[in-house]
Structure 1
Amino acid sequence: MKHASQIQRLGVTAVVTGLLLGLLAFFLIPVMASGSAAKEAVEAPVPRVLAAAAATALPPLDPAAPAPVAAMLAAKLDPILSSSPADASVSASVIDVASGEELYSHAGDQPGIPASSLKVFTAIAATQVIGEEHRFTTKAVLRDPNTVVLVGGGDVLLGAGTGSEAASGRAGLETLARLAATALLDAHAAGETGDAVSVQLDDSLFAGPALNPDWDASLVTTNNISPLSPIAMYGARANANPKAERVGDPGMFAATTFAKALRAAVGSSAGGPQVATEVTRAAAGAQGTELAAVTSATLGEQIRFMLEVSDNYVAEALGRLVAVKLGQPGDYAHGAAAVAQVLADLGIDTTGMELKDTSGLADTNRVAPLALARALGYAATSEHASLRNLGYALPVAGATGTLSTRLGAADTRGMVRAKTGSLMEVSSLSGLTVTRDGRALAFSFFVNTNDRAVGPHRQILDASAAVLTGCGCR
């Protein structure tokens, strides 16, 4: 397969080095106290849950650690995966990271609905094409003596104020307004502006429909997504609260926030121009004199945020930004196609893959668990150092993000890093773990039902991941 051949080309030394570096995320992981372990209806006894906060550390990874025997692993996983209700379909793939060998498959090569596990692909593609140290720039431009244009450059995690240490809200629109006000006042004093200045928004970096037609309309009303714009605050939310409602026009909401702050900053100085707070949209590609600019958290920080909280808006923006970086239109179709193309170019097998978006919200996406497991294994052993950092960004079992209340038992807590996925009638879990013998595994599990439940039968996925972590399987 393409993946295996690429690993072979790296050579034994590169594989071992990449494995050790790429899985540094598993060492000395700080783990917060959790309430109780996820109920495991299949396995018994339930492992003891840690009662107090502690640091969970893995033993040093030994490249010579024995891999699980496939038959022994199947003997442990088959009863769990086959315990699903009759109306549910389950698929799974487990990869030995060091060798690239698939150790277990339960319809693992059959494309299914990945839900938010698909964000792993988006993270890989964005890191590879854009670069983990890249920062997105939002700038204010004086287009003519009477017009200031706010130009969206891809940062959808802007803040309303002066900035934040967090990835969401790192760059502040108030800071941008204050800097722009200083430059605007200087320009006015030099006779380069009029006495009345309007504000416009240039959000032309993205193209096409702002909403994907493959998304169910309920995803908007339930705050899972909003119309896409290359400029937004807090992932298109009304404020910094991670549960705040998403706004209907994220770009205009950000521009109006900026305009009000600019008016306040200019108005505090005598003799400056009058700034209107009503904002209109500018023609694409506004040219002029840059007044000020602010930059986002690094792409790597934004990816960590996206994966930990499973932020759909950030994921969709990153997909479009990958397309733009490759010289393609920044619409949803080109974004999905660009992510798939980057994976193929990296040698990751994309057979049967159909990407309709880059967040996993579309139930028309089709991805095989094998493809996700191979992508995670590729990243962990990649010659690209930035891709090896992907392990740092995944939620930690019993500790962070969407895994903070899952897999909290003593032998899985802090030992599993994985991306969760939940849609109506769909659950997925895709990530990395280390066996009891010190062997790194990549895995992906899907469950699909017809019971109208959101994220059904997660206990099956969690129990399967627990088997991998506790497995000697020799």
Structure 2
Amino acid sequence: MKRARPRWGTWSLALAIGVALGLVALFLIPVVAGTATPQAVEPPPAPPVVSPASPTALPPLDPEAPQPETGVLGTRLDGILSSVEPDSTVSASVIDIATGNEVYSRSGAQAGIPASSLKILTAIAATDVLGEDHRFTTKVLLKDPQTLVLVGGGDVLLGSGKDSTAVSGRAGLETLAAEAAKEIHKARADGRLGPEMSLELDDSLFTGPGLNPAWDESLVTTNNIAVVAPLALYGARADAGPKAPRVKDPAMSAATSFAKSLRTALGNGSDAPRLSADIARGQAGDGATELASVSSATLGEQIRFMLEVSDNYVAETLGRLTTVAQGNPGDYLHGAQAVQQKTADLGIRSESLELVDTSGLADGNRVSPQTLADALKFAATSNHAALRDLSYQLPVAGATGTLGARLNAADTRGIVRAKTGSLVDVSSLTGITVTRDGRALAFSFMVHSHHGELAPHKDTLDAAATYLTGCGCR
């Protein structure tokens, strides 16, 4: 049974003012990409909990700014969103963040295919369950005098080298191998380890099929996804390149890279322990001894990475890790159910929500624009700072991630923050912007076409976001 939306009490006005002041910090973040010159604007006084921000061309938010009039807003948005061909379906929802009022709806409560806008719900669920400071640990255990076990703990952004400052590659397998080699030499000297060793791979944290049957096979061949495992290098890619091909067996690929580094770290002296060439899958068991471990970037950093580049592999991993943290099996079905249930439990409008994955790759997902806009409103007004940080993690118009080359006009660049979504016949745009009057709005736009085009009518969705940003709407 879905939880009813909470009733906002007398504290709502104070919360609205606090939200507006809090969002000042978000929308005053300087944009470093591009060449636009900021105009000097006197920054508003920041409350003690908000660090002062440098002035930019953005107007300050005003908690007393007038809310857009629905008639004016509706007329203009209807005109923009009606420009697509008649056989395409367009739906939209715009929510005033300070009040929670839906100020525009075009079949906003009707569920559609969200594409990667769905990742917003995954980010909220994972953050709420795990916490933004959570890190995932990859371990090497000594199972018996002849057997080492590499145990995946959910870090799919491992690097093949030494520890890195980047999110992808933060925990390096060379570092793990070097630390493990030191302990192996100690164990060898103490007689706890023989001269010959074998390596096992424990990727049992996730269960069930690694590929969701709801995914079209072409998604694998086009490198959008790979078999989902609880450890992988660079999001299951062959190397650190952002467009590098995905590997067929991400966990085994990581284990092979670790074994290579471990052989180097052990040395080739006559008394050095020798590691066999074969790697088998197995489980460490309860009596194994930990030799070494490395930890990932924080969940908050990984979510920013996921949202900015729209990484499907990280999104699918986070769904499984969320349900595992709740004590459930780590398969794709429980992952989707965990995100769907958490969305409802948090009081986000979710009457028509039906999820079959946590990345948005499946065209069987059903999410309404109202749910997505309400999710962003919920996060922005949450009592938990970790959820409020979601607004900072979205791509920035004309500057970062999948919005780096979109909404780059002076009126929108650096102001609109939004998650893009792209599938064949489906395009979505879900984010937050600030109107000309200083009013923060959450929005979600979707279009579903029937012409076999990838991400149709992105320009139409960008035009709608541009209008919202420049809107006086009175």
Q: Pick closer, same or farther for the CA change 1:10–1:197 going to 2, 3 Å.
A: farther
1:397 aligns to 2:397 (yes or no): yes
Contact 2:149 2:284 in 1 (8 A): no
Residue by residue over 1:16-46, the C-alpha shift from the partner in whole angstroms, topping out at 9 and shown as x without a partner, is 2234325622213223117xxxxxxxxxxxx
Structure-to-structure mapping, 1:400-415, within 5 angstroms? 400-415=400-415
Shift of 1:341: 1.0
Q: Is the partner of 1:148 in helix, strand or coil?
A: strand
1:418 aligns to 2:436 (yes or no): no
Contact 1:149 1:201 in 2 (8 A): yes
Q: Aligned partners of 1:22 and 1:4: how far apart in 2?
A: 23
* Aligned twin of 1:27: 28
Contact 1:127 1:299 in 2 (8 A): yes
1:136 aligns to 2:136 (yes or no): yes
Q: Is the partner of 2:307 in helix, strand or coil?
A: helix
Q: Aligned partners of 2:217 and 2:473: how far apart in 1?
A: 46
Q: For structure 2, list consecutive stretches of 5 or more residues without a partner in the other structure.
A: 41-54
Q: Is the partner of 2:357 in helix, strand or coil?
A: coil
Q: Pick closer, same or farther for the CA change 1:163–1:363 going to 2, 3 Å.
A: same
Contact 1:333 1:357 in 2 (8 A): yes
Shift of 1:291: 0.5
Structure-to-structure mapping, 1:14-413, within 5 angstroms? 14-22=15-23, 24-33=25-34, 50=36, 56-268=56-268, 271-283=271-283, 285=285, 287-413=287-413
Q: How many residues align?
A: 459
Shift of 1:317: 0.1
Q: Is the partner of 1:328 in helix, strand or coil?
A: coil
Shift of 1:308: 0.0
Residue by residue over 1:106-165, the C-alpha shift from the partner in whole angstroms, topping out at 9 and shown as x without a partner, is 111100000000000000000000000011000100000011100000000000000211
1:435 aligns to 2:435 (yes or no): yes
Q: Pick closer, same or farther for the CA change 1:275–1:10 going to 2, 3 Å.
A: farther
Q: Is the partner of 1:334 in helix, strand or coil?
A: helix
* Aligned twin of 1:41: none
Q: Aligned partners of 2:38 and 2:23: how far apart in 1?
A: 29
Q: Pick closer, same or farther for the CA change 1:264–1:6 going to 2, 3 Å.
A: farther
Q: Is the partner of 1:75 in helix, strand or coil?
A: helix
Q: Pick closer, same or farther for the CA change 1:10–1:180 going to 2, 3 Å.
A: farther
What TM-score do you get using the length of structure 2 for normalisation? 0.94
Shift of 1:13: 1.9
Contact 1:19 1:381 in 2 (8 A): no
Contact 1:198 1:276 in 2 (8 A): yes
Which 10-residue stretch deviates more, 11-20 or 273-282? 11-20
Contact 1:56 1:414 in 2 (8 A): no
Q: Pick closer, same or farther for the CA change 1:289–1:22 going to 2, 3 Å.
A: farther
Which 10-residue stretch deviates more, 286-295 or 382-391? 286-295
Contact 1:7 1:100 in 2 (8 A): no
Q: Pick closer, same or farther for the CA change 1:2–1:144 going to 2, 3 Å.
A: closer
Q: Pick closer, same or farther for the CA change 1:284–1:357 going to 2, 3 Å.
A: farther
Higher RCO, 1 vs 2 (CA within 8 Å, ≥6 residues apart): 1
Q: Aligned partners of 2:410 and 2:105: how far apart in 1?
A: 27
What TM-score do you get using the length of structure 1 for normalisation? 0.94
Code of the residue aligned with 1:272 in structure 2: it is A
Q: Aligned partners of 1:153 and 1:285: how far apart in 2?
A: 15
Residue by residue over 1:228-280, the C-alpha shift from the partner in whole angstroms, topping out at 9 and shown as x without a partner, is 00000100001000000000000000001001111111125552210123211
Contact 1:263 1:276 in 2 (8 A): no
Supply the RMSD in Å over aligned alpha carbons: 1.9
Shift of 1:212: 0.3
Code of the residue aligned with 2:113 in structure 1: it is I
Contact 2:38 2:56 in 1 (8 A): no
Q: Is the partner of 1:468 in helix, strand or coil?
A: helix
Large movers: runs of 4+ above 6 Å:
1-4, 51-55
Q: Pick closer, same or farther for the CA change 1:269–1:299 going to 2, 3 Å.
A: farther
Q: For structure 1, list consecutive stretches of 5 or more residues without a partner in the other structure.
A: 35-49
Q: Pick closer, same or farther for the CA change 1:286–1:58 going to 2, 3 Å.
A: farther
Aligned-pair identity in percent equals: 61
